[in-house]
Amino acid sequence: MDLRNLPDGLSPKERIAERRKRIEDECDCDLSLLEQRPSTIGHSDEKNCENMFGSMLIPVGYAGPLMVHFSSQKNMDVHLPLATTEGALVASVNRGCKALNSANGVHTSSVYHGISRSIAIKTSNAQRVTSNDIKERKDEWKTAAESTSNHLKILSYDIDETPDHIFLTINADTDEAMGMNMVTIAAQAVGNWIVDNIGGELITIAANVDSDKKPSKRTHEKGRGYEVTASATIPSDVITSILKSDPEAMMNVAKAKLEQGSDIAGALGANMHAANIIAALYLATGQDAAHVVEGSLTDTTITKIEDGLKISVRCPAILVGLRGGGTDLPAQRQCLDLLLQGNNRQHLAESIGAAVLAGEVSLLAAQAAHHLAKAHAALGR
């Protein structure tokens, strides 16, 4: 099928419709339900999806509000748009929000590590490049990187070596963008500069040390993008009245599931279902959904206190932006504005961490009360 050579002068809606018709004719199928309103297309046909022939409806549910005490010292209610097809998820997060609000909300903090790319340089006897060479000339290759964008600043770097390769991982601040495209272009400039000025052979500018969209011990331990922590102290009466459980039962589940079960599995990230919440918020707000893989590295910790539980989550890699990618699509922008309420990218990352905590609290209580299967049966599973 030729889906690229279309008549001149077509609107985005007409281009999409023409491709859909060609696919329907070729494959003898009905794709009419993928038709899209012009007001929701935005620039998706031009910037977000090649050979676009329609759009897929994902239900979006509301959870909240959730009171969050941000590291910026701002306290505010957060409204959560969750894009999901999994029955019970929104209801569970909403219950977690109610419980956390009754426990004086969620306290969040974050560290911005920047977005990373790893460059692989092959060493050779003829043009031997060493880690010392790269360290000594860091100001020069940093300048090459930062010259590629007015919005990029190198924050830090790491060097790893094997017998035949040097891996340089750069970590960059990319302003309001999530920044993968920006740091990739910068990595190309750095790789080219090293080869031209120091030596070696540029093998790739995406060498997996950065673990983009993949789970790794390094990301779990060192963080990537925003490393977010969210915590709350939940009194026993809130656990009993709202979560329909008790602290002892929740501690028993935490020990079996989060500690021992995760250890047996060799899990990178011991949590209840953090990826569920991160995926739903990423989809709704136009983030890169594949970064849910890194979000799944979250660790959830439960501690028994005198009158209740202290629960916290550490999300080592929340990768979000306010500009670029899917954030500029009309529907996603509206959901992003609903969640963000005029705040910055750090608030977005910490809001996602707080939402993860709400989901963890609710599911932990449901499993402790043996309500998990019942909830899924009642809400469409």
Which token pair is 180?
Answer: 């993968």
Which token pair is 183?
Answer: 């740091």
Packing angle of the helix pair 274-285, 345-368 (nearest 10 deg): 140
Close Cβ partners of 94 (under 8 Å, ≥ 6 residues apart): 62, 63, 64
* Helix locations, the chain, DSSP H: 12-27, 38-41, 89-102, 131-136, 138-146, 180-197, 217-222, 236-241, 247-253, 262-265, 274-285, 292-295, 330-340, 345-368, 372-378
> 91, 121, 156: which is closest to 381 by C-alpha?
91
Q: How many CA atoms lie within 13 A of 65 on its CB side?
A: 12
Catalytic residue among 79, 151, 371, 376: 376
- Taking the mean position of all CA atoms in its chain, how far away is CA 55? 22
Distances (CA, A) of 56 to 38, 59, 80, 284, 292: 14, 10, 21, 13, 19
Catalytic residue among 212, 227, 288, 294: 288
| Residue 371 designated active-site | no
Close Cβ partners of 18 (under 8 Å, ≥ 6 residues apart): 6, 7, 10
What's the CA angle centered on 118, arms 112 and 120, to 5 degrees?
Answer: 165
| Residue 360 designated active-site | no
* Contact indicator for 319, 297 with CB cutoff of 8 Å: no
Catalytic residue among 18, 86, 176, 246: 86
| Residue 86 designated active-site | yes
Distance CA 69, CA 77 (A): 9
Distance CA 357, CA 228 (A): 11
* Contact indicator for 355, 94 with CB cutoff of 8 Å: no
Helix (H, G, I), strand (E, B) or coil at 55: coil
Q: Which residues are catalytically annotated?
A: 86, 288, 376
